[in-house]
Chain A
């Protein structure tokens, strides 16, 4: 659904663009993209987006169909839920099954399978205390209201969510709550991007940068991409026209041969990001290695809770070692699918050992990931 409220923000000034409604803007931008594409060499022109919300928005609005042939849009590992490793899910499930413990989680996490197909939803069905919350603060409020209950919040998300969780941990610390912990599965974008783009033979030439992660981290962390790897970057919002604006920016950068980081979402993203949120995140978390489903270990790409907040760290308070070692199907080629080197059909596991109900990598966990989409539509998007 188009955002009614953000239209109100747009309509605050007078301009000819403004009077045009979103549908017209989309038509215009699609035409501009079509006009710009011949100026870019090489086919297909591969663009990656790394945000679950971008993936969903592209699907919801049917944007692929509005792009000219010759542009290939890939969904990268931008859905933090989908890249959460099986062992972390297993550990969360094990925690929820302990007496006296309530695991509070975002809705998205409920159906993600751990090993053997078990999920938090299934554990709940079997009697584990798993609750859905909209905000980590709701989990904190629950712990405060019911001091006999040990509440553990399953913290998943990138840099948009980490400061929110950090602020929640700080609030718990100010009060000295003894029954609230956080199981940090947070991951950060820049290191993952570096790993992806430093691999050999990467076909991706442009990156749509996640809009709200950028609200927090600003433009700076992406600069190494154009500077070291020649990748064009455009920070984009989530409406259909905002995404197309980002794609247009990428094409123009490629045509000019001058890749850079262009902020196409200035109403939400300042060049320096949100320093207060960054400070909060850095006060509570430090960088750590992290295992990404389907991609393996990416050094420095995770966030773990600092020692001074260990009282709120589920990893310190509970034994979170997974009941079984990480069962990673070594034939998962999500890493290559994500960077455009392979297609789902090239993967040995696709539709055999890896299906939407028993997914191995993020491309299949996400309902709109490359492999899930291929599975549903047989390679032909309607």
Chain B
């Protein structure tokens, strides 16, 4: 098959890990396999959650699946991720999360005490976030047909403000904020992978962001243009996607991007870039220039933030969607991830 063209003429002949990584390969998969068949105005927006109007009530609806390996890691576990992740999808639309569903696919032989531990995390995370798990489903598959446990959560939230939060609302001179350090979760998972065996005291940043998101929207109203949580693909990928959606360019300052020392060091050792590593407890907020100072104050006052900062601004569309002034004063394009970030030796 030349260039891997499949029988249907599309360009995906087999599913690869890269297709799940959140980068360009994922985009291709979504476009060619899903949008090509399922297209509708809501889906086509490809936002973190879908906005539905139900007899005059506006709700946000979202789904996410969790297949992380290892399932237990410093800072959390797959249960916590599953609850916080879907809450955050809703929160990025400014929604007040109301209810979650919980779907489990369990591998035969999965230890009962691990399942109990994960369910404890689910319960605790949901309680702390003030959200209920209202429905669920469980399937068990034979040993080897699933990797220990896969979790899907779907969530429903109420949209209480009367303007949409979407990157299309971003205007030139708007400022781009991040709620804290980047790369923590991705670096933690990467160092736990078999064969890498690094430690370094890293910890996942998983946490629910809905209270912080609501606080910003409640006080600043439409001065808030859009939120995004930079999960797979990292900060860089989210910024590129937002800039594309906005039809603008973003100018970012590398020095302003908060990165923990230990994350930076592990990335140096493995040849990784923290800008491309997943975050599970951080949000990008794009706000008007006038509202930025207050937005930063609000973030700083909330426990969910972790060193919030203004990292850049939106400008008229230039040659590339995202341009970064590097820490040494140079300039470079920030591209979207092609596939999974891999450690390098060369």
B31 near A: Cβ within 8 Å? no
B345 adjacent to A117 (CB under 8 Å): no
A134 adjacent to B326 (CB under 8 Å): no
Q: Chain B residues near A66: list those with CB within 8 A.
A: 328-330
**How many B residues touch A, CB cutoff 8 Å?**
47
Which one of A2, A53, A81, A125 lies within 8 Å of B14 (CB-CB)?
A: A125
Q: Chain B residues near A23: list those with CB within 8 A.
A: 327-329
Report, nearest first, the 4 A-B pairs whose CB atoms are least far apart.
A62-B330, A107-B342, A62-B332, A240-B328
- Jot down 28 A-B pairs with beta carbons below 8 A, ordered by A: A1-B274, A5-B268, A23-B328, A26-B328, A52-B346, A56-B344, A59-B332, A60-B326, A61-B327, A61-B328, A61-B332, A62-B324, A65-B332, A80-B346, A106-B346, A107-B343, A116-B1, A121-B16, A126-B14, A133-B196, A134-B343, A138-B195, A142-B195, A156-B345, A358-B3, A376-B335, A382-B331, A382-B333
Give the most central of B193, B325, B344: most A CB within 10 Å.
B344
B339 near A: Cβ within 8 Å? yes
A67 to B2, CA, bound (A): 41
A111 near B: Cβ within 8 Å? yes
Interface residues of B in 304-340 (CB under 8 A from A): 318-320, 323-333, 335, 338-339
A241 to B327, CA, bound (A): 11
Closest to A358 in B: B3
Interface residues of A in 151-195 (CB under 8 A from B): 156-157, 161
- Min CB–CB distance B178 → chain A (angstroms): 16
Q: Chain A residues near B265: list those with CB within 8 A.
A: 4-5
B344 adjacent to A108 (CB under 8 Å): yes
How many A-B residue pairs have C-beta atoms within 8 angstroms? Tell me. 129
Q: Chain B residues near A380: list those with CB within 8 A.
A: 319
Interface residues of B in 224-255 (CB under 8 A from A): none
B15 near A: Cβ within 8 Å? yes
Knowing A111-B339, A138-B197 touch, does A1 contact B332 (C-beta < 8 A)? no
Main secondary structure of the interface of B (DSSP, over half): loop
B346 adjacent to A157 (CB under 8 Å): yes
A110 near B: Cβ within 8 Å? yes
Q: Chain A residues near B10: list those with CB within 8 A.
A: none
Knowing A1-B274, A3-B268, A4-B264 touch, does A27 contact B329 (C-beta < 8 A)? yes
A259 to B261, CA, bound (A): 40
A94 near B: Cβ within 8 Å? no
Task: Given contacts A157-B346, A382-B319, list 16 more A-B pairs with CB under 8 A.
Answer: A1-B264, A3-B268, A60-B332, A62-B332, A63-B328, A106-B344, A106-B346, A107-B344, A108-B345, A111-B339, A117-B2, A122-B16, A125-B15, A133-B195, A134-B343, A367-B338
Q: Chain A residues near B259: list those with CB within 8 A.
A: 1
Closest to A22 in B: B328
**How many A residues touch B, CB cutoff 8 Å?**
53
A108 adjacent to B342 (CB under 8 Å): yes
B194 near A: Cβ within 8 Å? yes
A318 near B: Cβ within 8 Å? no
Q: Chain A residues near B106: list those with CB within 8 A.
A: none
B14 adjacent to A122 (CB under 8 Å): yes
Closest to B330 in A: A62
Q: Chain B residues near A63: list those with CB within 8 A.
A: 328, 330
Q: Chain B residues near A116: list those with CB within 8 A.
A: 1
Which one of A1, A61, A240 lies within 8 Å of B268 (CB-CB)?
A: A1
B220 near A: Cβ within 8 Å? no
Q: Chain B residues near A157: list those with CB within 8 A.
A: 345-346
Q: Chain B residues near A65: list those with CB within 8 A.
A: 330-332
B36 near A: Cβ within 8 Å? no
C-beta contact mask, A105-120 vs B, less than 8 Å → 1, else 0?
0111011000011000
- Min CB–CB distance B16 → chain A (angstroms): 5
Q: Chain B residues near A376: list those with CB within 8 A.
A: 335
A156 to B345, CA, bound (A): 9
A1 to B319, CA, bound (A): 24
